A and B are shown apart, each in its own frame.
Chain A
C-alpha cells in the first residue's frame, strides 16, 4: 500500500490539471464527477494506509521521492511521512472532502464557472494533503501556503463582487502575516538543529531542557503561523469575511480542514511544544480568549453563515486549549468530531440558502422545518452535536477537554463551561429562528422553497450519521478502558511535564455529564420559548438594537480598529515615503548634486563656448596681467 502513497495527493492534482485544461471541452457535470472521483481515489488509498502497520504507530514510515532544495547542509527532500497523525488527517481530508465534492455537484449546478470551482477544490485537496503528508517543515509550509492560495481563490470565487475580492485579499494577507512567523520559525529551527526534517528535529530536541529560549522562540514563531491559519486572536478577522465564498468552501476549507492545519502543526510538533511549557501556556490563553470572545459575537449575528463562522473560531479556540494543556490527542479528537458536525452544519446551511434562493439572513427565514425536513433533521443533529448533547459526537470531545481543563485550573474550566453554555445558546437560537416559527421571507422565496436533491441530502445524511456516532471513537474512561482515538495516536505523542496524568475521578465525570445535560435542557427550553414560541426575532433595523447587542453585532468593532491602527497608518506612511521622502529628499539630493556639477561646469564651459567676446576679454585681462607681472 505504501508504494501508492504518492497517488494520494497526485490524484487530486491530476484532477485539477485535467479540469482546468479541458474546462471548455468537459460536458455537463463531468468536471464535478472527475473532481469527486479523484478525491474518492485518494480516500480509498488513505483507508488502505490506515490499516497498514505503518499507521499502527510503532514505526512511522518516511518515503522519499526526490530532492527539492539542497544547499550545503540544508537538505529538503520531497518526502512523505506516514504515521497515525497523518493517517487521521488523511481520512478527514479525503473523506469529508469527497462528501463535499459530491454535495457541490448539486450545489454549484447552476453556476457558470462550475468547472473552475472543481478545479480549485481539487487543488485545495492536493495542497492540504501535501500539508499533512510532508515529512519536513518546508514541505508542510508549501502545503500551508498552497491551501491559503486556494482559500483566496475560492473566497473570491465570484470575482465580480469587489466585497468578496476584498475578503479574499484580507484572508491571504492575514495568513501571510502568520506565515512570516512560521517561516522564521522554520529557519530558526534549521539554524538550531541543522535540519527541518521532522524525525531529525525531534530527536535532536530531546536533548534540550524545558523552556530553553531557542525552543520557546521556535514554538512561538510556529504558533504565529497557526494563529493566522487557524484564525486565532489577533489574526482571526479574515475567517468571518471568508464566508463570502460558496458554502461548500466554507464547509471544507473554513471549517473542517484548512483552519485545523494550525492544530495539526502543533500536534505534529508536539515534541517541541512539550519542552516549551511557556508556549503551551500562551496557546491556552489565546485559545481560551478566542473561544469565549467569538462565542459572544456569534450570539448577535444574523447571517446564518456568520454565526457558524464565529462558532468555528470558538471551537478552534477549544482545540488550542486542549493542545495548550498538552492533551494533543484530545485536540485532534475534537478536530475530527468538529469536522463532522461543522461540515454538516455548513452544508445544511447551504441547503437552506439554496432553498431560500440565496438568502442568508435568519431574520427572513423561519418555519423551514416543514418544507425542508431532511435539512432540518440533519441541522438538528449538528446543533445537538456542537452543543455537546450526549451521545452526539461533540459531547465526548468537548467533555474530554473540559475534564483536562478541570485537572489544570478551575478558572479555565469555568471559562470553558461558560463558552459551552454560550455555544448552546447561539446554536439553538439559530436553529429555532431558521426552522421554527412562521416564515418571514418574501412571497417569491416561499414559492420557491423546496428540499434539496439527493446529491445534496445524501452527503448530509452521511455526515449526520458521523456526527451522531463519531464520539464513540473516544469514549471517556468511565465507560471503557479503550480510548480508541487516544490509543491510536499515543505512540507518536509526548506528554509535557505540566500535564497531569491523573484521570478525573468517575464521580467527577458523572457529575460533569449530569450537570451538562441539565444545563442543556434548560438552554433548549429557554431558547425555544424565546425564539420559536414567542418568535422574538432580532430587528431588521439597527437603530432598535440595545447598546450591548450593537457592540456584538458589530463584532466589537475590531475590523474598524484594525483599519485605524494598521491599515490607514501603513498607507499614510507609504504615502509620506513616496511623495516626500523619495521624490523630494532622495531624488532631490541626486538632482542637487547634478545641478551642482552643472553650475560648476558652466564656469569651465565659458572657456570653450566659442564666444569671441569672452576670448578677447580674457586675452586683454591676460595681457594686462602679463604686463603687470613683467613690470616688476
Chain B
C-alpha cells in the first residue's frame, strides 16, 4: 500500500510527460487520487499502533541496504501535508503559468516526481533510502527553479543547489559512519542506528554532520542566505514546494534522524541549536520589517516561523514537539496561501513592491478577505491554526528556558508589525493607477483558497485529530531520547 503511495506519483509523472495538452489535468487528477489514498490510509491508521504499513525488501543485500518504509504518526501527518498541498500547488499554477511557462508537461512531471521523493523522505526507515529520496527531491526543484525562475535564476539556483548539496554530503558522511558502527554485517536500518551505543564525543561530531544538512534545508540562522533569493526568484509553484513542504524535510530529519540517533550529541549541542533558532526568529522578523518585495518579506517571515519550530523541537518535551508537528502543518498551509496571494498580486500588477501598491481592497474585497484570513493565521491569532502551533511551541520552549521563550515570543509582536504594515500598503488606502484595474478573485482562485482557509480554521478550532495522530509516536521518540540521555 505504502509503495503505491510512493510510486504512484512517479507513474503519474511519466504519464504527464506523454499527456501533452492534458498534462495539467492529468497531474491534478493524479495528485487528487494520491491525496484520497493518503486520507484513506490515515483512516486505517491506528495512532497507538507504532509504525504501520511497513514494507521491507532487500535492495542491496551485500551493503545492508533495504527498501524499508513505514509510517508512524509523525510520518503520517507529513505525508498528509504533502499530498494535501501538492494538488493545491498544481491547481494554483493553472492561473499563474498561462503565459510564463513553456513545456508544461515537463513542469508538472517534475512536480509529481518531487512528490514521490518527498513522500519517500517522510516514510523511509533505511538510512541509505532516506538519503536517496532526500537528494532525489532536490533535483526536480533545482530544474524547476533553473528553467522557470526569474532574471537572476542561474546564479541563485546554483548557489542554492551547491549549498544544500554540501549540507547533505555531511549527512551522507554521517550516515556512512553510523553504518560502519552497526554490528555484524552492517546495515542502514534506522532501528539499528537507534540501538547504537556511541560515545559522547562521536555523537557530538555526528550531531553537526546531520544538523548542518537539516539546518541548511530549513533554514536555520545563519545558514539561511540561500533562501530569500531562491524563494523570491523561483516560480511561485516552486517557492510553494520549497517552503510549504521541502523545508519540513529538514525539521522531519531532526525529529527522526537526529534527536533519537545522537541523543547525547543533542544533549551537548541542543542549546546551541536553540540559541541559533531563537536568534533566527527575531533576526528574520526584523529583516522582514524592512523588505519592500512582498515575496521576500514572506521568505524572511518563513525563516522566523521555522526558527520557532526548530527551537520548540530541540526543547525535547511533549508540548514543544507537538507544537512543532502542528506548526509544520500550519506553516505549510499558511505559507502556500501567502505565496499564492503574492503571486496573484504579481500577475495582476506586475509588481511586488509594497510601496507601489495600495487600495486593492476597494476593487477586490474578496481577495482582501482571504488575504486577511491567511494573514491572521500566520500571525497566530487564536482559533486559527497558527495559534495552536505557536502556543505549544512557546510553551515547550518555556519549559526549556523561560528567557528563550520570551525572546522567541517577540515573533508574535514583530510578526503582527510586518504583516499588518504589508497588508496596509497592499490593500488599504486609496487605489492607484496600478491597482485600479485589479480584478477580484476568479472562481478558480477561490477553489485554491477555500481548502486552505478551511484547514486554517479546522486545525485552529479542533486540532485534536491531528494532535492525536502524532502524540503516541512523539512520546515514543521522546522516551528513546530521554532514555538514552539518562543512561
Digit string of B421-464 for contact with A (CB within 8 Å is 1, else 0)? 10010011110000000000000000000000000000001111
A448 to B225 CA separation, bound complex (whole angstroms): 62
A184 contacts B405, C-beta separation under 8 Å: yes
Partner of B424, one of A71, A169, A180, A188: A169
Binds A, one of B94-102, B120-128, B265-273, B391-399: B391-399
A72 contacts B391, C-beta separation under 8 Å: no
A190 contacts B361, C-beta separation under 8 Å: no
Which residues of chain B are within 8 angstroms of A188 by Cβ–Cβ distance?
398, 402
Digit string of B396-425 for contact with A (CB within 8 Å is 1, else 0)? 001100100110011011001100110010
B416 contacts A172, C-beta separation under 8 Å: yes
Partner of B412, one of A143, A152, A183: A183
A172 contacts B395, C-beta separation under 8 Å: no
Which residues of chain A are within 8 angstroms of B209 by Cβ–Cβ distance?
none
A145 contacts B428, C-beta separation under 8 Å: no
Closest Cβ neighbor of B411 among chain A residues: A180
A465 to B387 CA separation, bound complex (whole angstroms): 43
Which residues of chain A are within 8 angstroms of B162 by Cβ–Cβ distance?
594
Which residues of chain A are within 8 angstroms of B163 by Cβ–Cβ distance?
590
Which residues of chain A are within 8 angstroms of B387 by Cβ–Cβ distance?
142, 145
Contacting A at CB under 8 A, from B239-264, are none
Which residues of chain A are within 8 angstroms of B226 by Cβ–Cβ distance?
590
Is A587 interfacial (CB-CB < 8 Å)? yes
B392 contacts A71, C-beta separation under 8 Å: yes
The minimal Cβ–Cβ distance linking B325 to chain A, given in whole angstroms, is 10
A160 contacts B412, C-beta separation under 8 Å: no
Partner of A179, one of B225, B405, B412, B421: B412
Digit string of A173-187 for contact with B (CB within 8 Å is 1, else 0)? 100110110011001
Which residues of chain A are within 8 angstroms of B61 by Cβ–Cβ distance?
none
Digit string of A297-319 for contact with B (CB within 8 Å is 1, else 0)? 00000000000000000000000
Partner of A165, one of B286, B289, B381, B428: B428
Number of interface residues of A (CB under 8 A): 48
B420 contacts A172, C-beta separation under 8 Å: yes
Contacting B at CB under 8 A, from A143-174, are 143, 145-146, 149, 152, 156, 159-162, 165-166, 169, 172-173
A586 contacts B225, C-beta separation under 8 Å: yes
A146 contacts B410, C-beta separation under 8 Å: no
Contact A594 to B159, CB < 8 A, known contacts A69-B392, A69-B467: yes
Which residues of chain B are within 8 angstroms of A149 by Cβ–Cβ distance?
376, 381
Partner of B383, one of A74, A142, A165, A191: A142
Which residues of chain A are within 8 angstroms of B395 by Cβ–Cβ distance?
74, 187, 190
Which residues of chain B are within 8 angstroms of A68 by Cβ–Cβ distance?
461-464
A180 contacts B410, C-beta separation under 8 Å: yes
Contacting A at CB under 8 A, from B346-383, are 359, 361-362, 376, 381-383
Number of interface residues of B (CB under 8 A): 56
Is A320 interfacial (CB-CB < 8 Å)? no
Q: B359, B362, B399, B406: which has the most chain A beta carbons within 10 Å? A: B406
The minimal Cβ–Cβ distance linking B295 to chain A, given in whole angstroms, is 15
The minimal Cβ–Cβ distance linking B465 to chain A, given in whole angstroms, is 11
Q: A69, A146, A184, A577: which has the most chain B beta carbons within 10 Å? A: A69
Which residues of chain B are within 8 angstroms of A159 by Cβ–Cβ distance?
361, 427-429
Contact A183 to B420, CB < 8 A, known contacts A69-B467, A141-B382, A188-B402: no
The minimal Cβ–Cβ distance linking B396 to chain A, given in whole angstroms, is 9
A442 to B95 CA separation, bound complex (whole angstroms): 54
Binds B, one of A359-367, A536-544, A567-575: A567-575
A179 to B402 CA separation, bound complex (whole angstroms): 16
Is A560 interfacial (CB-CB < 8 Å)? no
Contacting A at CB under 8 A, from B271-321, are 283, 286-287, 289-291, 318-319
The minimal Cβ–Cβ distance linking A155 to chain B, given in whole angstroms, is 12
Closest Cβ neighbor of B361 among chain A residues: A159
Is A67 interfacial (CB-CB < 8 Å)? yes
Digit string of B119-152 for contact with A (CB within 8 Å is 1, else 0)? 0000000000000000000000000000000000
Which residues of chain B are within 8 angstroms of A161 by Cβ–Cβ distance?
429
Contact A578 to B382, CB < 8 A, known contacts A74-B395, A177-B413, A184-B405: no
Partner of B382, one of A146, A160, A573: A146
Partner of A146, one of B287, B322, B383, B468: B383
Q: A138, A143, A162, A188: which has the most chain B beta carbons within 10 Å? A: A162
Which residues of chain A are within 8 angstroms of B392 by Cβ–Cβ distance?
69, 71, 74
The minimal Cβ–Cβ distance linking B365 to chain A, given in whole angstroms, is 9
**Number of residue pairs A-B, CB distance < 8 angstroms:** 132
The minimal Cβ–Cβ distance linking B421 to chain A, given in whole angstroms, is 7
A69 contacts B388, C-beta separation under 8 Å: yes
Is A3 interfacial (CB-CB < 8 Å)? no
B290 contacts A173, C-beta separation under 8 Å: no
B405 contacts A156, C-beta separation under 8 Å: no
Which residues of chain B are within 8 angstroms of A66 by Cβ–Cβ distance?
462, 464
A183 to B291 CA separation, bound complex (whole angstroms): 28
B409 contacts A183, C-beta separation under 8 Å: yes
Contacting B at CB under 8 A, from A571-609, are 571, 573-575, 577-578, 582, 586-587, 590, 594
B225 contacts A570, C-beta separation under 8 Å: no
Which residues of chain A are within 8 angstroms of B416 by Cβ–Cβ distance?
172-173, 176
Is A630 interfacial (CB-CB < 8 Å)? no
The minimal Cβ–Cβ distance linking A74 to chain B, given in whole angstroms, is 6
Is B222 interfacial (CB-CB < 8 Å)? yes
A69 to B83 CA separation, bound complex (whole angstroms): 25
A156 contacts B290, C-beta separation under 8 Å: no
Is A70 interfacial (CB-CB < 8 Å)? yes
A41 to B419 CA separation, bound complex (whole angstroms): 36
B428 contacts A156, C-beta separation under 8 Å: yes
Is B471 interfacial (CB-CB < 8 Å)? yes
The minimal Cβ–Cβ distance linking B366 to chain A, given in whole angstroms, is 11
Digit string of B22-48 for contact with A (CB within 8 Å is 1, else 0)? 000000000000000000000000000
Which residues of chain B are within 8 angstroms of A177 by Cβ–Cβ distance?
413
Which residues of chain A are within 8 angstroms of B383 by Cβ–Cβ distance?
142, 146
The minimal Cβ–Cβ distance linking B220 to chain A, given in whole angstroms, is 12
A152 to B420 CA separation, bound complex (whole angstroms): 10
Contact A71 to B402, CB < 8 A, known contacts A173-B420, A176-B416: no
A187 contacts B394, C-beta separation under 8 Å: yes
Contact A578 to B290, CB < 8 A, known contacts A70-B467, A180-B410: yes
A557 to B304 CA separation, bound complex (whole angstroms): 34
Contacting B at CB under 8 A, from A54-78, are 66-72, 74
Partner of B290, one of A138, A184, A575: A575
B381 contacts A145, C-beta separation under 8 Å: yes
B413 contacts A71, C-beta separation under 8 Å: no
A66 to B471 CA separation, bound complex (whole angstroms): 18
The minimal Cβ–Cβ distance linking B362 to chain A, given in whole angstroms, is 7
Closest Cβ neighbor of B461 among chain A residues: A68
Digit string of A247-274 for contact with B (CB within 8 Å is 1, else 0)? 0000000000000000000000000000
A187 contacts B429, C-beta separation under 8 Å: no
B286 contacts A574, C-beta separation under 8 Å: yes
A458 to B246 CA separation, bound complex (whole angstroms): 60
The minimal Cβ–Cβ distance linking B186 to chain A, given in whole angstroms, is 31
Closest Cβ neighbor of B282 among chain A residues: A577
Closest Cβ neighbor of A76 among chain B residues: B391
Closest Cβ neighbor of B380 among chain A residues: A145
Q: List 6 A-B contacts (CB under 8 A).
A: A68-B461, A71-B471, A160-B430, A184-B394, A184-B409, A188-B402
Top 10 A-B pairs, shortest CB-CB distance: A142-B382, A587-B225, A574-B286, A72-B318, A159-B428, A578-B287, A574-B289, A71-B322, A574-B290, A187-B398
Q: A69-B463, A176-B413, A188-B398 are known contacts; what are 4 more A-B pairs with Cβ within 8 Å? A: A159-B428, A162-B429, A176-B412, A183-B412
